[in-house]
């Protein structure tokens, strides 16, 4: 059982699996089924934030998860391989041309722990406002001074009048494994990891 996140990571993930000789094209079919049997594996389609939960509790043996989510949640799982997809950055961003907020900035984010750690390391104690999505709206509407969010192409920031203030950290996507499954299905997991490693190496 492999937990995978719905959304933009699916296409590059299916392409990576294909290079590893695993046909997971069924993940891209446009139906509402949340369990997909394809390429000899059973996949669970989940919200990205839920992937580590399923893997940590053993409802899924393996998962595909952004390091942004892993750093925020710190699940008790193995992380045997970086998949080299979904490469982006966690950044602080604010309105174009606005001076950096002084004192105690109000920060909107769906990554409260990472945001608090980032500002805390600079001796700043921000007021964190937790939001689940469309984070870019927060500075536009006055909900917050700045945001801490993921940037991939930069289009969402630009189209909402925001610019990067600083990079918090680079983010990519990892294969994660339940600690018991990793030992119980050691041969199968290692075989899959080796195939994925081969595909990654071939891609340079
Ligand atoms: C993410 C992120 C940004 C956007 C950045 O949101 O929160 O809003 O992607 O991508 P870009 O730099 O390529 O424009 P996502 O699309 O995952 O949806 P969400 O707002 O519901 O979290």
Chain mean position to CA 45: 14
Task: State whether 29 and 64 are in the same domain.
Answer: yes
Instruction: Give distance in angstroms: CA of 184 to centre of ligand 1.
Output: 37
| CB of 133 closer than 6 angstroms to any ligand 1 atom | yes
Tell me, in angstroms, the distance from the centre of ligand 1 to residue 7's CA.
Answer: 10
Q: CATH no. for residue 159?
A: 3.40.190.10
| 104, 159: one domain | yes
**Same-domain status, 96 and 155:** yes
Residues 17, 111, single domain; the answer is: no
Number of domains in the chain: 2
The mean pLDDT value for 128-154 works out to 97
Q: Taking 80 as the threshold, does the pLDDT of residue 114 lie above it?
A: yes
- pLDDT tens digits along 50-69: 999 999 999 999 999 999 99
Residue 150 Cβ inside 6 Å of ligand 1? The answer reads yes
Confidence of residue 170 (pLDDT cuts 50, 70, 90): very high
β-strand pairing of 35-38 with 41-46: antiparallel
Identify which of 149, 164, 171 to mutate to test ligand 1's pocket (most ligand atoms within 8 A of the CB): 149
Kindly report the pTM of this predicted structure. Answer: 0.92
Q: Who's near 173: CB < 8 A, 6+ residues apart?
A: 9, 13, 64, 65, 66, 67, 82, 83, 84, 85, 86, 87
CA angle 198, 203, 204 (to 5 degrees): 100
Q: What are phi and psi for residue 57, nearest 5 degrees?
A: -85, -5
Query: Chain-centre distance of CA 33, in angstroms?
Result: 22
Same domain, 151 and 116: yes
Residue 124 pLDDT greater than 80, yes or no: yes
Looking at residue 102, its pLDDT comes to 79
What pLDDT sits at residue 203? 80
Ligand 1 lined by 155 (C-beta under 6 Å): yes
In 39-103 the beta strands, taken as DSSP E runs, fall at 41-46, 62-66, 78-82, 88-95
Nearest CA to 114 among 135, 130, 94? 130
- Structural domain of 179: 2-86+172-202
Give CA–CA dist 41/187, Å, rounded: 15
Instruction: Give pLDDT, residue 115.
Output: 98
What b/e readout covers 10-20, taking b as 16+ CB neighbours within 10 angstroms?
beebbebbeeb
Q: Residue 99's pLDDT band (boundaries 50, 70, 90)?
A: confident
Taking the centre of ligand 1 as the mean of its atom positions, its distance from the CA of residue 151, in whole angstroms, is 7
Residues 103 and 164 in one domain: yes
């Amino acid at each position: 059982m492999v937990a995978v996140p719905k959304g933009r990571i699916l296409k590059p993930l299916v392409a990576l699996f294909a290079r590893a000789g695993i046909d997971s094209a069924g993940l891209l079919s446009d139906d509402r089924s949340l369990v997909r049997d394809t390429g000899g594996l059973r996949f669970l389609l989940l919200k990205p934030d839920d992937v580590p939960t399923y893997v940590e509790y053993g409802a899924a043996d393996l998962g595909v998860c952004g390091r942004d989510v892993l750093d925020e949640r710190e699940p008790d799982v193995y992380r045997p391989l970086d998949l080299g997809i979904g490469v982006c950055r966690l950044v602080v961003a604010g309105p174009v041309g606005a001076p950096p907020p002084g004192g105690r900035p109000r920060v909107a984010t769906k990554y409260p722990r990472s945001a608090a750690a980032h500002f805390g390391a600079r001796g700043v104690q921000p007021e964190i406002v937790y939001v689940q999505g469309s984070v870019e709206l927060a500075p536009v509407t006055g909900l917050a001074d700045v945001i801490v969010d993921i940037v991939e192409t930069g289009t969402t920031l630009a189209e909402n009048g925001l610019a990067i203030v600083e990079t918090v950290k680079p983010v990519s996507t990892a294969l994660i494994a339940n600690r018991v499954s990793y030992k119980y299905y050691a041969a199968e997991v290692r075989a899959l990891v080796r195939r994925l490693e081969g595909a990654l190496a071939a891609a340079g």
